[in-house]
Structure 1
């Protein structure tokens, strides 16, 4: 069993997302360690990209700040390698296909393995084209995470059959960002997935409050929160570590209370 899948054997998982290099790679490393201590079960590390098509303005701005600050893929690998000396929490990279191709697919996945990354999430890689990266993921023991969306319909079963690690269920149409209400019927998506494979399903896109997290945790295996955390990084800057740790503690408590 992969470390990613093992996370979900311990109860409802809380998955957090941060943009590497925002406000600095040093703070990113501190955030990973603090969130792990505060209750995060799995952390997604966003590799900043100039054209993040799945992201809303909060994460787009974080990407811009990180790139302006000189963040590169090689520096991110080095940061993760340093974090691994203090922290064993499962880590996933979230990036886009263009940066991976530019870096070199096999080289990228080999470095993921070497620095301690457990999974790769690529929002703009269609299921039908996953063969571009999956052989390298398999070679280096990295779970390539599959997405399903409310519009996937008949494709959900096909995707679920071959999914690894966990299935990322997109709660709402559109880009990432905090929403006042999560309206999509994620329960139906999860039901279709489970009919094909007994694999954990985590819901993301728009979740921000303990109330939302607790309510949605009733029918899924994990909750993913990104924009709400990245927004706090933007507000607090270098002083973001402690308040984000406190936020993670509250969210994890809400998820576990249901």
Structure 2
């Protein structure tokens, strides 16, 4: 049960509108990642609510999970902090619902793993996510061969399903990865977990060019982007730069020995996002 959805079927949604707006502006976007409820629900809501004004064009919101296998130590730790603070799938959707009372336009993509969604119930999850204002999903442990589990139901529910491609996704595998992909393509610029070394610019340039030969969808590049300068390098060739671990680490640096948020931490994190956005927005002159 699959169809060629390489040109986004959810063409009137927030994600498509935002990338169309970015194209009209002649610039790339900044996609920011935070973990929902890290380290507590109030801080998570404040960060989420503040990201658009700080320059985030799209937001990835991590769904905390006990075994985030694709993530490095920084995001693993953020998941554990959020879970210890009582975060759950239901409460993650509540954060999105709260965000939507203030922002009707910025796309939100939930990123995580299948187990919590399966436990919640796929149909119920998709209905609740759509009602809360979720625009897309990135579920890193569901390959194309299992599209019937979540991808196809998500697309039918009007929720984009964003797939990861990597440096090891060769031309033989790429068509399967792109089938049913919606929203944008997320190119993982390094082979490994989040928060590790950055890829060489020449490798990113070649990878983006190759993907664009295969799909009309926007291409976002992430993993290993830690500074405004690195974000700018990616933004010169990709449709968006994705920054996650560096933001999560900045938040972690603002916690005290007991894991509580020090005064000014939210403002500091949002200030860092402004610096990243400045790099992205100035990347093409």
1:157 deviation in Å?
3.6
Corresponding residue number in structure 1 for 2:3: none
Corresponding residue number in structure 2 for 1:4: 15
Distance in structure 1 (CA, Å) of the matches to 2:17 and 2:211:
18
Distance in structure 1 (CA, Å) of the matches to 2:206 and 2:175:
12
Residue 246 in structure 1 maps to residue 271 in structure 2: yes
Q: Contact 2:151–2:180 (CA<8 Å) still a contact in 1? A: no
Distance in structure 2 (CA, Å) of the matches to 1:257 and 1:139:
38
Structure 2 length normalisation: TM-score? 0.86
- Out of 123, 129, 135, the position equivalent to 1:118 is 135
Residue 219 in structure 1 maps to residue 225 in structure 2: no
Q: Which moved more, 1:167-176 or 1:155-164?
A: 155-164
Corresponding residue number in structure 2 for 1:31: 47
Q: Contact 1:161–1:196 (CA<8 Å) still a contact in 2? A: no
Distance in structure 1 (CA, Å) of the matches to 2:265 and 2:174:
38
Q: Which moved more, 1:150-159 or 1:165-174?
A: 150-159
Q: Contact 1:172–1:183 (CA<8 Å) still a contact in 2? A: no
Corresponding residue number in structure 2 for 1:90: 107
Distance in structure 1 (CA, Å) of the matches to 2:70 and 2:18:
26
Deviations 1:82-135 (A, max 9, x none): 121012211111010111111111111111101000000011111221221123
CA RMSD of aligned residues (A): 1.5
Distance 1:178 1:240, change over 3 A: farther
Distance in structure 1 (CA, Å) of the matches to 2:205 and 2:114:
29
Q: Contact 2:37–2:43 (CA<8 Å) still a contact in 1? A: yes
Corresponding residue number in structure 2 for 1:76: 92
Corresponding residue number in structure 2 for 1:142: 159
- Give ranges in structure 2 of 5+ residues lacking alignment: 1-10, 256-260
Distance in structure 1 (CA, Å) of the matches to 2:94 and 2:233:
38
Distance in structure 2 (CA, Å) of the matches to 1:144 and 1:114:
16
1:1-258 equivalences under 5 Å are 1=11, 2-9=13-20, 10=22, 11-88=27-104, 89-154=106-171, 155-179=173-197, 181-183=198-200, 185-237=203-255, 238=261, 239-258=264-283
Structure 1 length normalisation: TM-score? 0.95
**SS class of match (1:131):** coil
Q: Contact 1:161–1:197 (CA<8 Å) still a contact in 2? A: no
Corresponding residue number in structure 1 for 2:6: none
1:192 deviation in Å?
2.6
Deviations 1:6-61 (A, max 9, x none): 22222311000001111111111111121111110011110110000000000111
Distance in structure 1 (CA, Å) of the matches to 2:179 and 2:236:
24
